[in-house]
Structure 1
């Protein structure tokens, strides 16, 4: 049966139990978003309180994605060995311990160490949660359930911006207000831990590890009245195929020429996801807005607007992907980010500091940039990477691409304050503009369309060149 087959019978709706499981599991995504976004508002008071140099400022912000790269690299293997649920329970504990460690860190060294540990949990969650949700959801609900995690990620970032603004106002004269901002992530971490105690294990993992009776029991509880015994047999068959399939190695990505072409394409998408400078805005947005003229706590409240736009943009992407090709969205997004970043740099250079409109013009540029980035590039690059790899190397291919993406996030986060200190904000933004133009040309010349093509058709396309 091809993936184009259309079933005429009505699909059962999402059950209350599945909705609860998805909500609990995606608290891992919310923590991902909050922990990457909270540093945005915490840095100004952190720089003052701990006397951070530009290098240390960049290190504190970027060490989390450095840890996340390694968490993403090994998280999937741990989940394969110990189970998705058990590893997510363990990650919830790491989130709690590392968050408290960050909030109470007496020195920069301790803060960096706990931020790195927190990054390990963030990276592992970024890989495990989507897999866990995909294995629990029926096929017709898989896209909706997995996309909920992306919404929770950008929602967590927006939540961090809102709490940052509230705490900056409530504790305006407290030098260590950044500690309260960081430690708030303990609450969702505890919710994740408590929730995962009652969440069942993935049926696919149970079947692959010989727990057949538990697998059928989980399917019955999740599907409720829509339970189909044939689905359990399908899960058993797929688990048997997984058992007989040799484990893929990293060398498989470069050994075969047509797979090597796919790997280069996937790795390039991981790079494109980050060279827009989106994480420079997410990590240093408040500092940039203070620099362009938003005084007092105005920068904290202005920073909420891009966060909300990011959430709306992901929602729009979920709608557009039903009708618009991946390639067209990517090209549209790159044109949008290139144009908005150029306008940002020119406004910074040409509008006088004394002009009150300067801050609002630059904020508008940031909002437009975030909208194009989250809608057309951020969502699409992850989807693109998940579609192009053939089944036998999909896991290792996605793992390596996730590692590259997080390492690029680390590089951008580390170098942004150093570059702005030596070149200024405008010329640093122009570097991202040049990178966006290169990415635009590359996507136009190289990236194929993947929408409405089965995975088998895509594999045939790459095999035949």
Structure 2
């Protein structure tokens, strides 16, 4: 799951004043340190969504889970994240980005410790929901903090670090699970140790944020100009800090306008259709089934024919190729048209869905079948993370007019999280009822529908300003 809401060279036209160049110096190292500490939120996001993958088998045996209660335990975190994203955005605007990230680090700790100490699956599901509030809050707050403290020339690359940390967190969860399981797999309650590891980055995030400044853009929005200038002076040259204050004022005013308009505009037909397209993109992204692999990959590979030890090790390839895919996607995302790359991504993922399904249906049971399924699942993960994952977030950040942008993105992200939760809830019982082959054929069918939806409804946003996109939608749907 990606969280990028800003990108350099995104195709949106900004009215930037002349600013002194962003030269290197001690302030650059300070900015780099800020980015590392804040993206611990993304690392926690990734670890907490990925750790259940390897922990689920011992957890199921320990707490007596069924296919349905497995889905509840896993998906409760995602349902929590949907609400956490909304609540986190409100608290972030009211009390500040830094304040909210500090609060989230405490919720990460509380949720993790509650999960580790849970005596039953019901209690575990409750604390997974609490943990989800932190995950969703991080998805709404961390990219905003990074975008607001980074210089405009580096904003996209710095915000993108959070995406990299998310998939790195998932990969780390897979690797740590594999190590723990292979060393102490026979120990009762070993899944508790797997979950406990997440406390360490949560503590690091809390201690690190105590030393970091507030977002200068939020400070300006609160009329605290002197504090905003002091923050900018930490991460810019003195000349650049002074010159950038005017830009920060402009961006804060745009944000204010975005939040005071929008709800009235929901009565306008083209606005409603645009928000429906944004929500549809979120559903299409999640119904690729990417998070069924990221949450249940070890079980999926076990069902495919791998032994328990081998499945948890083989699943680390999903994490590794997720990281590689994101790296490839970020490197090419501004060189290809959005719709072209999105259609290509869905064509690839749908093809690999079919290949997984055919392998599961037609090949005889054995090692060869397990390896074929693993290869096609890994290629699906790579294709997804290199195209659809980051692209959907980028298009959402580009397609909405400023006056409805905050509201529209909020609705789209909520729908995206909710679709994620439905896939997480439904995957175990669906696989049990239909088998691997029919489940992946169903994902392929959703892929075909997504291709039709993108080809007929999704606008091209690369190289178009917000004003041009708004004019186009007014003309087409008014």
Q: 1:163 aligns with which of 161, 168, 176?
A: 176
Give, in whole Å, the separation in 1 of the partners of 2:170 and 2:235.
30
- Which residue in 2 is equivalent to 1:376? 387
Give a deviation string over 1:288-340, Cα, whole Å, max 9, x none.
11111211411111111111111111111111112111111111110111000
Q: Verify the 8 A CA contact 1:4 1:454 in the aligned structure 2.
A: no
Give a deviation string over 1:400-442, Cα, whole Å, max 9, x none.
1111011111100111111111111211111111111100111
Runs of at least 5 residues in structure 2 that lack an aligned partner in the other structure: 1-11
Q: Verify the 8 A CA contact 1:15 1:224 in the aligned structure 2.
A: no
Q: Verify the 8 A CA contact 2:288 2:349 in the aligned structure 1.
A: yes
Matched, 1:189 2:180: no
Give a deviation string over 1:38-93, Cα, whole Å, max 9, x none.
01001011111111011101101110000000011121111000000001000000
Q: 2:289 aligns with which of 277, 283, 295?
A: 277
Alpha carbons of structure 1 residues 16 and 175: separation in structure 2 relative to 1, 3 Å: same
1:247 Cα deviation (Å)?
1.9
Moved more, 362-371 or 221-230: 221-230
Q: 2:137 aligns with which of 103, 124, 127?
A: 124
- Which residue in 2 is equivalent to 1:258? 270
How many residues are treated as equivalent by the alignment? Answer: 463
Give a deviation string over 1:350-408, Cα, whole Å, max 9, x none.
11113x21111100000110011111101100111111111111111111111101111
Q: 1:332 aligns with which of 344, 361, 370?
A: 344
- Which residue in 1 is equivalent to 2:442? 431
Q: 1:304 aligns with which of 316, 321, 334?
A: 316
Helix, strand or coil at the partner of 2:260: coil
- Which residue in 2 is equivalent to 1:344? 356
Give, in whole Å, the separation in 2 of the partners of 1:86 and 1:443.
39
Helix, strand or coil at the partner of 2:23: coil
Matched, 1:56 2:69: yes
Give, in whole Å, the separation in 1 of the partners of 2:345 and 2:255.
37
Alpha carbons of structure 1 residues 241 and 365: separation in structure 2 relative to 1, 3 Å: closer
Q: Verify the 8 A CA contact 2:41 2:138 in the aligned structure 1.
A: yes
Q: 1:227 aligns with which of 240, 245, 249?
A: 240
Q: 1:34 aligns with which of 35, 40, 47?
A: 47
Moved more, 44-53 or 232-241: 232-241
Q: Verify the 8 A CA contact 1:46 1:178 in the aligned structure 2.
A: yes
Alpha carbons of structure 1 residues 314 and 73: separation in structure 2 relative to 1, 3 Å: same
Moved more, 216-225 or 93-102: 216-225
Helix, strand or coil at the partner of 1:15: helix
Helix, strand or coil at the partner of 1:122: helix
- Which residue in 2 is equivalent to 1:66? 79
Give, in whole Å, the separation in 1 of the partners of 2:340 and 2:222.
42
Helix, strand or coil at the partner of 1:92: helix
Helix, strand or coil at the partner of 2:236: helix
Helix, strand or coil at the partner of 1:339: helix
1:225 Cα deviation (Å)?
5.3
Q: 1:75 aligns with which of 88, 91, 105?
A: 88
- Which residue in 1 is equivalent to 2:29? 16
Alpha carbons of structure 1 residues 9 and 150: separation in structure 2 relative to 1, 3 Å: same
Alpha carbons of structure 1 residues 200 and 53: separation in structure 2 relative to 1, 3 Å: same
Matched, 1:211 2:215: no
Alpha carbons of structure 1 residues 241 and 289: separation in structure 2 relative to 1, 3 Å: closer
Alpha carbons of structure 1 residues 120 and 48: separation in structure 2 relative to 1, 3 Å: same
Two-structure CA RMSD over aligned residues (Å): 1.9
Give a deviation string over 1:173-211, Cα, whole Å, max 9, x none.
113111111111000101110111011000111011011
Q: 2:453 aligns with which of 431, 437, 442?
A: 442
- Which residue in 1 is equivalent to 2:5? none
TM-score, normalised via structure 2 length = 0.93
TM-score, normalised via structure 1 length = 0.96
Moved more, 2-11 or 441-450: 2-11
Q: 2:414 aligns with which of 374, 395, 403?
A: 403
Give, in whole Å, the separation in 1 of the partners of 2:363 and 2:250.
65
- Which residue in 1 is equivalent to 2:405? 394
Runs of 4+ that moved beyond 3 A: 1-11, 240-246, 248-252
